[in-house]
Chain A
Amino acid sequence: MLDSLQTIIVFCLYMVLLFLTALWVERKSARGRDLVNNPLVYSLSLAVYCTAWTYYGSVGKAANSGLIFLSIYLGPTISVVLWWTVLRKLVRIKTTQHITSIADFISARYNKSQSLAALATVMALFGTMPYIALQFKAVLSTFAIITSPGGADPSWIARHLGPVLVALMALFTIILGIRRLDPTERHPGLVMAVAVECLVKLMAFLAAGIFVTFFMFDGFDDIFRRIEATSPEVLANLWTADQSSPVLWTTYLVLAMSAILFLPRQFHVAVVENSDENHIRTAMWMFPLYMLLINIFVLPIALGGILKGYPAAQADTFVLGLPLAAGQKWLSLLVFIGGASAATGMIMISSITVSTMVTNHLLVPVFGLVKSLAFLNRQLLKCRWVAVAGVILIGYWFERQVGESYMLVNIGMISFAAALQFAPVILGGIFWRRGNERGALLGMGAGFAVWFYTLLLPAFVRSGWIDDSLLTKGLLGVSFLNPERLFGVVTLDPLTHTVFWSMAFNLGFYVLGSLYFEQSKEEQSLAEAFVGALTTKPSLPGPYDRKSYIDVAPKTKLIRELLTQYFGEADAAHMTEKCLQSAGIKNKNKSRISIVELAGLHSEAEKMLAGSIGAAAAHRALTLAAVFTANEARELSDVYAEILARLKVTPKELERKIDYYQEREALLTHYASELEQKVKERTRDLEAAQEELIKRERLSVLGQLTAIVSHELRNPLGVIRSSVYFLSRKFSGSDEKTAKHLNRIEQQVGLCDSIIGELLEYTRGRRVATVQGELNPWLEELLDQIPKPDSVSILRTLSPSLPPVHFDREKLRRVIVNLVENAVQAVVARQNAAAEQHKPYSPQVRVTTSPADKGVRIEVEDNGIGMAQQTADRAFEPLFTTRARGTGLGLAIVKKIVEEHGGTVSLTSRREAGTTLTVVIPGTPPLEAQKESDSAGEAPAG
């Protein structure tokens, strides 16, 4: 027997030690050193699964029911295999959605439903409160055992330990767990305390097991041999129990698989308190190993107790009782501390979890509904303190009231069955997009109702709180509604019966409800975020900050080989280098690249190839080249998904935005090409204008030069002409030869004078001075004056209805003379040619006038030699001529004068057919002429 005071002091010291450890961790954490961010701590904290029920109850179960207790630990071991998918997903969602509890998780997934959260909270409350009571019972009863064995009266301390324990637990939990409101709901100090407690309870249990197995007996074989020799009926009974309950074994497996994650406290330590999802990897093997170790001595202790003559009914106390009976005080104390650790760890985590849920999902909505309580919204922290204290206190009160009841003894599996009701909505929520709020509400509600009716209510009956007619006759006397034989199912044990019916209702309503009711847009978005949680990573680095692990060399080789199929080896190598450079890989001189960089390289290679074989073929070639492995392709998808997640837009919205941007891009491209076209046109115009300007400048220079030269030439030409005149008078009547030469000189001088005149006219001609008048009389007079060979006749077709036009008589005279002379020369040339070839030809020049649109048209038509198209095209160019003796200014001067009149001139010609020149003179005076006439009409200033 241990001294009560001594025991309580050791227990309190242990608690203080835990408290100090937790505080130290909290302080370290506040300074940025997170000691809990450790896979070992995470794995140990998960062992809060092994409560006092495990610690003491497993031995009791083993002594009475054989190995079935192992299924409680084998179930989680099996389900752990899927943690890398399931638990990692839950943790990922917790991080992204800032989940604080299992109720919060369910609510967040299903349209942030308050009703679902409230329902989950109530279910958690129902399942947890008696469980907390069970932990109190374990601590209090074991304290009584080690301080007053053999049923002696408990000491004063043992009698008053309960309130002390409640106070300690509440204080400890509040200080370490909810000293302040933390939006992440992570409690590093508390988690470290729980991890230490889990380590202590394992050590304590192993110590007890080793003592019983190897010190009280000679190992496992010795225990089995002795039990077989002395109590074969025990083995037979245990074996029969195991053999007869394969269904129950399976039920335990299923319940335990679900409980390891969906018991509120397990969800809290595994999901909410997880600081790094990589810790799951270690926990995947370390936690099952922990469970194996804590269970390996359970059966030997149970059998050892029986061998020592203790009744199997008291097997719950064997862990503590055997060392105590053997006089191992300190070992007994250690075992007690271990058991207390198991109990307090569970109480702390459960009370925090439940109080968080109660505050967030029951009290806060009530504060919102009842206006007089709205002020409490600012006192949430204190409300949570009260909630924690309340949960612990009610747990203790429950233990005091129903400590020995059927319900409390079986609360472990009852809680597990309650936690199972969360499984469909949570698993459906993270794997089934269609699952919706109403389906979840119906499913979970139905499952909870069935659980309550078929398992909890019978427990109340067996505890004596409700009349047993419910179990004997059924609800309202209808045996079909018997809670333990619902709808006539009589072959299943009560637990399996509940699991079967609750799951049938839960799953059925969840699936049918989800299929029947439509999801809102918000729900669809949430479902997408939850189901696709693993496609994005919540790590802080951006989507482009990816690890460089892909070898560049093989990828470069692939691309070079691909390019070699289309280009020469040397070119392919060069192009590959260019791709590497464009992708920014060569500059960094890296041997390994990230998936983002590989995507860049892939894109550059595709662009390079597309330039030669087209985009579609290039895309296909790159696809066939398989530059991305399956994993790399998936990671690239992750990058895009992460970008999408960061954009916080739904895929549909993104698609719409992409469409919009594509349209905008198309419009911009269209406008850009239009602008480009306009710029090109303007550039062309500018170039033409500049060319014209240059040409004019040149002509201007040429004009000035011509004017000077012409002026200087005309003087000597005048002297020559006078001298020729004098000589021709002097030698008149002399020899014919002299007269001929003198005549030739005179002609050539005349020609020179004419050329100079044309040059001066073109380069420095005076401006037009138009006068309104009738064209026909003037034209007839002029045509009469133009000299022509006799063989050529000038026909006139002058329209009598010509409107009066404004024209400069002198200038237009030059035009007509020029055109008629050209026509005459053309017909004469053809006449000469016809004469040489002895062909008949009748030379003809026709001058026609006719009214034109707001003016007069003058056509000079001949049937002369005509001209080639190339010549016709250039006919109006200054200095262009096909004649041996010509300045090439004739038609240029015509064009210039007509344009000065505001008119147009055109030419049509065909070789050996003739030429037609058409001049159109407008009826109104030209703008420049108008200005001049206007200014001339004004009175001179001054």
Chain B
Amino acid sequence: MMERLIALIRRREFHVFLFVLGLVLFGWPVITFSDIGRLEMMFKYLFLAWMIFIFLLFLVAVSQSVSSGSKESEEGQE
């Protein structure tokens, strides 16, 4: 299970997915969803999403560490 998860995170397609996810989370139209006057909510949403995104980046970095233990070049999986 864990190995499959690491394999998924290591995949190039997953990185592209994460990139698109970032664009969705931090781009239009999501940034315009909340009501007027709810700057606080937007502030909290952005930082929370940012933290989660950093955690995902951490997983990507760790998965690359694992993969480099077994293989240096991941050209085909990126």
The smallest beta-carbon distance between A221 and chain B, in angstroms, is 8
B57 partner, pick from A239, A240, A284, beta carbons under 8 A: A284
Of the candidate stretches A243-251, A334-342, A676-684, the one touching chain B is A243-251
Q: Given contacts A77-B22, A235-B39, A239-B36, is CB(A288)–CB(B54) below 8 Å? A: yes
A539 to B73, CA, bound (A): 12
A865 contacts partner chain B, Cβ-Cβ < 8 Å: no
Q: Are A84 and B15 in contact (CB under 8 A)?
A: yes
- Are B43 and A299 neighbours in the complex by a CB distance under 8 Å? yes
User: In the bound complex, do residue A292 and residue B51 qualify as a contact, i.e. CB atoms below 8 Å apart?
Assistant: yes
Q: Inside 8 A of B77's CB, which chain A residues have their CB? A: 631
B53/A281 in contact, CB under 8 A? no
Beta-carbon contacts under 8 Å, B19-76 to A: 19, 22-23, 26-29, 31-32, 36-40, 42-43, 46-47, 50-51, 53-55, 57-58, 60-62, 64-65, 68-76
A288 to B23 CA separation, bound complex (whole angstroms): 15
Stretch at the interface among A63-71, A381-389, A765-773, A850-858: A63-71
From known contacts A288-B57, A292-B54, A299-B43, infer whether A81 and B19 are also in contact, taking CB-CB under 8 Å.
Answer: yes
A235-B19 in contact (CB<8A): no
Q: How far is the CA of A281 from the CA of B72 in the complex (A)?
A: 13
On whether A537 and B73 interact (CB within 8 A), knowing A78-B19, A285-B61, A296-B47, the answer reads yes
A638 and chain B: residue at smallest CB distance? B73
Instruction: Annotate A193-205 by CB proximity to B: 1 below 8 A, 0 otherwise.
Output: 0000000000000
Would you give the shortest CB distance from A233 to chain B, in whole angstroms?
A: 10
Cα–Cα, bound, A236→B74 (Å): 49
Chain B residues closer than 8 Å to A163, beta-carbon distance? none
A81 near B57 with CB under 8 A, answer yes
Give residues of chain A (192-244) contacting chain B, Cβ–Cβ below 8 Å.
220-221, 224, 228, 232, 235-236, 238-240, 242-243
Query: What B residues does A159 contact at CB under 8 A?
Result: none
Residues of the B chain whose Cβ atoms lie less than 8 Å from the Cβ of A278: 65, 68
Contact A292 B31, beta carbon cutoff 8 Å? no
Contact B22 A78 (CB under 8 A): yes
Residue of B whose beta carbon sits closest to that of A536: B73
Task: Give residues of chain A (61-112) contacting chain B, Cβ–Cβ below 8 Å.
Answer: 66-67, 70-71, 74, 77-82, 84-85
A535 at the interface (CB under 8 A from B): yes
Checking B28, B76, B78 against A84 with a beta-carbon cut-off of 8 angstroms, the contacting residue is: B78
- Say yes or no: is A160 at the interface (Cβ < 8 Å to chain B): no
Q: Which residues of chain B have C-beta atoms less than 8 A from A539's C-beta?
A: 72
Which residue, of B16, B39, B47, B53, has the highest number of chain A Cβ atoms within 10 A?
A: B39
Cα distance A281–B36 when bound, in Å? 39
A867 within 8 A of B: no
* Contacting pair A535 B42 (CB below 8 A): no
Smallest CB separation, A647 vs chain B (Å): 19
Q: Indicate whether B6 reaches chain A with its CB closer than 8 angstroms.
A: no
Main secondary structure of the interface of A (DSSP, over half): helix
Chain B residues with CB under 8 Å of A82's CB are: 15-16, 19
Residue from B29, B42, B75 having most chain A Cβ neighbours under 10 A: B75
For A74, give its contact among B18, B50, B68, B70 (CB under 8 Å): B50
B residues in contact with A232, CB < 8 Å: 37
A243 to B47, CA, bound (A): 18
Q: How far is the CA of A502 from the CA of B64 in the complex (A)?
A: 36
In the complex, whether A834 has a CB less than 8 A from a CB of chain B is no
With A and B bound together, what is the CA distance between A281 and B31 in angstroms? 29
| Known contacts A224-B39, A239-B36, A253-B27: A534-B73 contact under CB 8 Å | yes
Contact A635 B39, beta carbon cutoff 8 Å: no
Report the Cα distance A236→B40, complex, angstroms.
11
Of the candidates B32, B42, B57, B70, the one whose C-beta lies within 8 Å of that of A631 is B70
CB contacts (< 8 Å) of B28 on chain A: these are 246-247, 249-250
Q: For the complex, what is the distance from the CA of A296 to the CA of B64, rounded to whole Å?
A: 28
Chain A residue with minimal CB distance to B46?
A: A70
Chain B residues near A630: list those with CB within 8 A.
76
Q: Is the CB of B65 within 8 A of A281?
A: yes
Interchain CB contact under 8 A, B64 and A281: yes
User: How far is A296 from B54 in the complex, measured between Cα atoms in Å?
Assistant: 14
- Chain B neighbourhood of A250, CB < 8 A: 27-28
Supposing A84-B15, A242-B31 touch, asked if A78 and B73 sit within 8 A by C-beta, the answer is no
CA distance A242 to B45 in the complex (A): 14
Residues of A within 8 A of B68 (CB): 278, 281
Q: Do A284 and B37 have beta carbons less than 8 Å apart?
A: no
Is residue A740 within 8 Å, beta carbon to beta carbon, of the partner chain? no
Contact assessment for A67 and B43 in the assembled complex, using a CB-CB cutoff below 8 Å: yes
Q: Is A375 an interface residue (CB 8 A)?
A: no
In the complex, what residues of B have CB within 8 A of residue A613's CB? Answer: none
Complex CA gap A850/B37 in Å reads: 136
Find chain A residues with CB under 8 A from B42 CB.
67, 239, 242
Q: B41 to nearest A CB, angstroms?
A: 9
Q: Are A535 and B75 in contact (CB under 8 A)?
A: yes
Q: Residues 532-554 of chain A: 1 if any B CB is under 8 Å from the residue's CB, otherwise 0?
A: 00110101000000010100000
Taking the closest CB of chain A, its distance from the CB of B8, in whole angstroms, is 14
| A535 partner residues in chain B, CB cutoff 8 A | 73, 75
Q: What residues of A have a CB within 8 angstroms of the CB of B76 in the complex?
A: 630-631, 634
B73 in contact with A74 (CB, 8 Å): no
Beta-carbon contact of B54 and A285 below 8 Å = yes
CB pair B39 A238 closer than 8 Å: yes
Query: Is the beta-carbon distance between A288 and B53 smaller than 8 angstroms?
Result: yes
Which residues of B have CB within 8 Å of A835? none
Interface check A16, CB cutoff 8 A:
no
A791 interface contact, C-beta 8 A: no
A-binding residues in B (CB < 8 A): 12, 15-16, 18-19, 22-23, 26-29, 31-32, 36-40, 42-43, 46-47, 50-51, 53-55, 57-58, 60-62, 64-65, 68-78
Interchain residue pairs A-B with the least CB separation, the first 4: A78-B22, A246-B28, A285-B58, A224-B40
13 contacts between A and B (CB under 8 A): A67-B42, A74-B26, A78-B22, A84-B60, A85-B15, A85-B78, A236-B36, A238-B39, A242-B39, A285-B58, A288-B53, A539-B72, A635-B72
Known: A84-B15, A631-B70. 14 other contacts (CB 8 A): A67-B46, A77-B50, A77-B53, A77-B54, A78-B26, A239-B37, A250-B28, A284-B60, A285-B55, A292-B51, A292-B54, A534-B75, A630-B76, A638-B75
List A residues at the B interface (Cβ < 8 Å): 66-67, 70-71, 74, 77-82, 84-85, 220-221, 224, 228, 232, 235-236, 238-240, 242-243, 246-247, 249-250, 253, 278, 281-282, 284-285, 288-289, 292, 296, 299, 534-535, 537, 539, 547, 549, 630-631, 634-635, 638
